[in-house]
Structures are given as C-alpha cells and as structure tokens.
Amino acid sequence: MPRRSTVYVQMPHTWLGRLAALVVSVAVVVLAFFFFTVVLAAAGVALLVHIIRLLWSGRRIRRSAPRDIIEGEYRVEPEERLPADSGPDPTRKKN
C-alpha cells in the first residue's frame, strides 16, 4: 500500500511571519476576486454576443419569410344545436 504524505501547515509564531502570512493571504483573496471578476465579465460578454446573434438571425429569417402568409390565432368552436334539432332527423331514412 502506498504511503500517504501529509502536509501540516502551522501559523508562524513571530510577528514578522504573521505579517507576511497576512500580506500573502490578502494578496491571494484580491487576486481571486479579480480573477472571478474577469471570468464573470467574459461570460457576460459571451452571453451578450450570443443573444445579439440570435436576435439578428431571427430578424434575417423574418425578413426572408413570404409576405402572403397571414398569421393569427384560431379556436375550434363547439357545434351548437338549435332547440328544434334536438330529436332525430325526420327526413333521414332508417336502415
């Protein structure tokens, strides 16, 4: 079985070591914040470019569509029976 190596990190005991650890920690946090900001801005720009491209493609498709098509909505109305038509049709032949 391979031997695992364990790394222990101890806080520095001197004030100079603690100050150096603080400076390094703050620098890492600031760099991580700026990296996250740059990645987020790049993702936002990519999303914006994608949306503009989709809108532009839709505009081009709508422009090339034939003009003789009338678009609209419809619904199927249920068949209404008049009160006089409530019985069977007297003119219809029986089998």
Q: Is residue 39 part of a domain?
A: yes
In the chain, the number of structural domains is 1
Q: Is residue 40 part of a domain?
A: yes
Query: Cα 25 vs. chain centroid, distance in angstroms?
Result: 35
Q: How far apart are CA 40 and CA 46, in angstroms?
A: 10
Which one-letter amino acid corresponds to residue 68? D
Q: What is the DSSP letter of 92?
A: S
Q: Is residue 71 part of a domain?
A: no
Q: Is residue 43 part of a domain?
A: yes
pLDDT < 70 regions, the chain: 1-2, 82-95
Q: Is residue 55 part of a domain?
A: yes
Q: What is the pTM of this model?
A: 0.49
User: Which residue range forms the structural domain that includes residue 47?
Assistant: 34-61
Q: Is residue 11 part of a domain?
A: no
Q: Is residue 86 part of a domain?
A: no
Q: How far apart are CA 26 and CA 32, in angstroms?
A: 10
Q: How far apart are CA 35 and CA 27, in angstroms?
A: 12
Per-residue tokens: 69: 């098509």
pLDDT in tens, 47-72: 999 999 999 988 887 777 777 777 78
